[in-house]
Amino acid sequence: MSASAAPSRARSAILSRLRAAAPVALAAPDVAAHYAEGEAFPHTGQRERFIAQARGWRAEVVETDANGWPAALAAVLAAKGVQRLMAGRDTSIAAALQANDLGAALDWYDAPIETLKPVLFDTIDAGITTTLGGIAETGSLILWPDAREPRTLSLLPPLHIAVLREETLQPTLHAAMRQQDWAAGLPTNALLVTGPSKTADIQRLLVYGAHGPRELVILLLRAEPAA
């Protein structure tokens, strides 16, 4: 018998046993049941849990409301020494930004990135964006970049300010994907932002702002009380 015959016969024997095993298809896992325990904490506690988690990742959370957030924003800009703020046009916050005295110059992200790149890198102190929601379990923001609010608006300025509405908080990522029906259509770049940009080298020296904004401020708009 040749040297190659034994491995060939062994291979055939293995394949024969596999074919004869008649494997049974496994039932699809119950994904909702798997995540149910993590989503069991009360909906009323989501704001407190989100704030605690976000602050644990060194994000600043400023609680305000739908009417008071422009004033809260102005206070943040003053405290941070922001001279120029950039925002996207035609967003849910654009009219309020334009109508209020923020104490800083307001620039619009309304030109191609090739045109705006020098401005974003050299003169813009902060970028402000809306959010699709937040995840209480991890203190993460859900960003849904589009042509009005491209990813660079929250990535390039050293300070990212995010406007988050309490009613969009979800207990977990799974709950957010289900409740917001992500399967119906995702953007090219859906984002989960957990704290400011941070990285560490081999010596475990933590550095903020190496790959994105070094500061993150969340304006958390409390939900209106039920009538």
pLDDT tens across 88-114, in order? Answer: 999 999 999 999 999 999 999 999 999
Please state the rounded mean pLDDT for residues 9-19.
Answer: 86
pLDDT tens across 33-89, in order? Answer: 777 766 665 556 899 999 999 999 999 999 999 999 999 999 999 999 999 999 999
Whether the model pTM is above 0.95: no
Task: List CB contacts of 58: < 8 A, sequence separation 6 or more.
Answer: 195, 196, 198, 208, 216
CA separation (Å) from 43 to 130, 135, 161, 182, 224? 22, 12, 25, 21, 15
Nearest partner of 132 among 57, 191, 217, judged by Cα = 191
pLDDT tens across 119-166, in order? Answer: 999 999 999 999 999 999 999 999 999 999 999 999 999 999 999 999
Sketch the domain layout of the chain as residue ranges.
43-221
Please state, in angstroms and rounded to a whole number, the distance separating the CA atoms of residues 50 and 175: 14
Task: List CB contacts of 108: < 8 A, sequence separation 6 or more.
Answer: 86, 87, 88, 89
User: What pLDDT score does 3 carry?
Assistant: 56
CB atoms within 10 A of CB 131: 21
User: What pLDDT score does 64 carry?
Assistant: 98
Give me the long-range contacts of 7-15 (CB less than 8 A, separation at least 24).
none
Quickly state the pLDDT bin for 211 (edges 50, 70, 90): confident
User: What pLDDT score does 227 carry?
Assistant: 55
Which CATH architecture describes the domain 43-221? 3-Layer(aba) Sandwich (3.40)
Give me 17's structure tokens: 């046993």
CB atoms within 10 A of CB 7: 9
Quickly state the pLDDT bin for 186 (edges 50, 70, 90): confident
